[in-house]
A and B are shown apart, each in its own frame.
Chain A
C-alpha cells in the first residue's frame, strides 16, 4: 500500500540558509500535518492543512511557512536556518471524514542538519 512520501530524506544546510521539505500524502488523504522531533524528544506539532487551507498551528517559528497544493502535497519552507532547527521533520496524513476515527499515518521523515 502507498505510504506518505517525504523528500529529501536527509538535508544538510548552513546557518542562515533556506530549506524546503516536501510531503506527498497517502492517495485520497486530504489532511497533512508537520511535526518536528528534536534529538531525544517527542514529536512536536508544527502546522496542519485540510483541503489546502491551514487548519491548525502549533509551535512553528515565524521563519517557517508551509502550504498545501491542489494535488494535496505539502511543502515546509524554512528560512534563516539556525543550529536549533536541526531535527527530524515528519509529515503525516489522514482522511478527514468527519466524526470518525482518523489515524495519522507518518512518513519516514527528513533529517535536517544545520551546520
Chain B
C-alpha cells in the first residue's frame, strides 16, 4: 500500500522554464511533508518542507504547495537549471518531531539545455 505516490516516474523540462513535480498521499494523519533531491551514489538531500498548517512555503527557486483537502502537494522549481537534474522524492510524516518518513517512488527530473 503506497501511502505517498509520485505518479510521474520522469519529467523533462527546458532550462529556464518551470519544473512542477507532483505528489499525492492517502494517509490523512500526515501533517509534515518534505522534498528531497537525490543524485546517483549519494544520499537524499533535503530541499524544502511544509507543515500542514501552511499551504505554501518558498525558498529561493523552490516553492512547495500543499492542498490538504486534495491530499496533494507539488514542488515548483523556477527557473530550472541543468544542475537540478536528479531524482526528487516526496516524503511525509505523521507529526512533527522524530518521526519516520514515508517516501514516494521518486520522479527523475531532466533539465535540457
Contact = CB atoms under 8 A, between A and B. Distances in A.
B32 interface: yes
Contacts of A55: 98
Contact of B99 (A6, A56, A109): A56
B100 A33 contact: yes
B49 interface: yes
Given A106-B36, A108-B43, A45 B100 contact: yes
Interface string A24-67: 00000001010100000111110010100001101000000000
Interface stretch (B12-20, B64-72, B78-86, B101-109): B101-109
A92 B20 CA distance: 26
B46 A42 contact: no
A4 B43 CA distance: 10
Contacts of A103: 34, 46, 49
Interface string B10-46: 0000000000000000000000101010000111111
Interface residues of B, number: 24
A58 B100 contact: yes
Contacts of A56: 98-100
Contacts of B101: 33, 35, 43, 45, 92, 104
Q: Name the prevailing secondary structure of the B interface residues.
A: loop
Interface extent on A, as a size class?
A: 20 to 34
A93 B90 CA distance: 18
Contacts of B98: 31, 48, 50, 55-56, 94, 96, 102
A43 B97 contact: no
The 5 A-B residue pairs with the shortest CB-CB distance in the complex, in nearest-first order: A106-B43, A42-B103, A45-B100, A96-B98, A31-B98
Interface of A: 4, 6, 31, 33, 35, 41-45, 48, 50, 55-56, 58, 90, 92, 94, 96, 98-109
